Amino acid sequence: MDLLQLDIQTKLLHPHTSHPLNSHTFPIFQSSTFIFDSTQHGADLFMGKGEGHIYSRLGNPTVELYEEMVRDLEGAAGSLAFGSGMGAINSSTFPFLKSGDHLIAGDTLYGCTVSLFEYWAPRFGIQVSFIDTSSVEDVKKAWKENTKMVYIETPANPTCKVSDIVSIAAFCKEKKAKLVVDGTFTSPYYLKPLELGADISLHSITKYMNGHGDVVGGVTSCKNIEDYNQIKSFRKDFGSLMAPMDAFLCIRGLKTLPLRMEVHMQNGIKVAKFLESHPKVKKVNHPWLESFKGHEIAIKQMKGCGSTFSFEMESFESAKKLLEGLKICSLAVSLGTLDTLIEHPASMTHAAVPEDLMKKQGLTRELVRISVGVEKIDDIIADLKQALDKC
């Protein structure tokens, strides 16, 4: 039997790592430092020679097991875990950019990613253009001599805008620029950006990848080992490694990713169809609906979808009534947890986005974002129905 050919659902449950003391689950190495056998052993490890660990900011066995599991899932040369999704984002972009470089960023991104590029990047001399990356032509038109990177979210938060990874990656390759993809809305179970040509694939694992809503974390995966080494070196000096306890929880969470994603996907589609047919809802942005603008590209590049999407109510007042009238769904930010979460992007997750960019991407005050959980879906639909009836 070829163990390398196992299905990912089996591989995630049987990682090829020997567990200390025959422990069934891999232990939490809750240790900041590691003891050397001799001065030569310590010196060798610092030179990158020999077996062993030095200090947990440089690498920790529990975190490394998690990284290996993600590497196999993404088909990457290497993966690196961080203390947050934002840690993964700045560590996957800044090490490859310097003062005077130009970055093309999607015009629809998570609010803090927008502030990272809008506020912080220019302070380091990096120029940023926010472009509608669902149009490859717009990406080409925005290109400058000094463009070194394209950064996209697909499907993007919160309007689910879909960008064509294959076409953008081909153009980046021609221009010798990097393509970085945030696939948080889907998880690598359904979307594998590296296979489609991207250089770096990253996730907020706070969301679907961990799924239980008990860890804030991020992970980035690289197609080539040079990029991996560059990010690893940046992480060592900027210090945003994931904690061992969090890695333990993320290993546990990742083991059920296939099971969770399949239920999330089916539940999300059912809720999207229910909302689409409801008279109080103006528009639903869900990549699996045929009415959705990016549907064709979505079904071409994704094997399935997550359960986070947005929809527009008639007015801000009715959106507010809906959010406050729900009895089961929780009014909270974040997404991809086992239970259903609902929020108001314009005043919450995307409050930091400048007004012109909100307008450009159709992020209105009437927009509501929902992350459908794995509950018995009839209960969630009944909850939405009773709240919508009062709007």
Looking only at the bridges linking them, the beta strands covering 200-204 and 178-182 are parallel
With CB under 6 A as the contact rule, which of the stretches 79-87, 225-233, 292-300, 378-386 interacts with ligand PLP?
79-87
Q: Does 153 bind ligand PLP (CB under 6 A)?
A: yes
Determine which one of 11, 55, 57, 320 is catalytic.
Answer: 57
Handedness of CA 308, 310, 316, 319 (dihedral sign): negative
Quick check: is 176 catalytic? no
Q: What is the DSSP string of 59-96?
A: --HHHHHHHHHHHHHHT-SEEEEESSHHHHHHHHHGGG
Pairwise CA distance, residues 292 & 305, whole Å: 13
Q: Does 93 bind ligand PLP (CB under 6 A)?
A: no
Pairwise CA distance, residues 248 & 217, whole Å: 12
Of the pair 85, 294, the CB lying nearest ligand PLP is at 85
Cβ contacts of residue 3 below 8 Å, gap of 6+? 16
Of the pair 95, 213, the CB lying nearest ligand PLP is at 213
CB 93, min distance to ligand PLP, A: 12
Of the pair 241, 391, the CB lying nearest ligand PLP is at 241
Of the pair 6, 352, the CB lying nearest ligand PLP is at 352
> Please, what is the end-to-end C-alpha distance for the chain in angstroms?
58
Q: Does 297 bind ligand PLP (CB under 6 A)?
A: no
C-alpha Rg value of the chain to the nearest Å: 21
Of the pair 67, 153, the CB lying nearest ligand PLP is at 153
331 forms bridges with which residues in the sheet? 342
Q: Does 216 bind ligand PLP (CB under 6 A)?
A: yes
Looking only at the bridges linking them, the beta strands covering 200-204 and 308-313 are unpaired
CA 227 to chain centre: 19
Determine which one of 71, 107, 110, 151 is catalytic.
Answer: 110
Q: Does 188 bind ligand PLP (CB under 6 A)?
A: no
Size of the site for ligand PLP (CB under 6 A): 13
Q: Does 342 bind ligand PLP (CB under 6 A)?
A: no
CB 205, min distance to ligand PLP, A: 7
Pairwise CA distance, residues 308 & 317, whole Å: 22
With CB under 6 A as the contact rule, which of the stretches 84-92, 228-236, 239-247, 321-329 interacts with ligand PLP?
84-92
Quick check: is 207 catalytic? yes
Q: Does 157 bind ligand PLP (CB under 6 A)?
A: yes
40 CB-contact burial (10 Å; exposed 0-12 / middle 13-18 / buried 19+)? exposed
With CB under 6 A as the contact rule, which of the stretches 53-61, 83-91, 242-250, 272-280 interacts with ligand PLP?
83-91
Q: Does 159 bind ligand PLP (CB under 6 A)?
A: no
Closest to 256 measured CA to CA, from 13, 3, 2: 13
Establish whether the linkage from the previous residue to 61 is cis, with ω within 30° of 0. Answer: no
Q: Does 110 bind ligand PLP (CB under 6 A)?
A: yes
Of the pair 86, 377, the CB lying nearest ligand PLP is at 86
Binders in 9-68 for ligand PLP, by CB under 6 A: none
Q: Does 84 bind ligand PLP (CB under 6 A)?
A: yes
Closest to 190 measured CA to CA, from 288, 111, 303: 303
- Residue ranges in contact with ligand PLP by CB under 6 A: 84-86, 110, 113, 153, 157, 182, 184, 204, 206, 216, 218
Q: Which residues are catalytic?
A: 57, 110, 182, 207
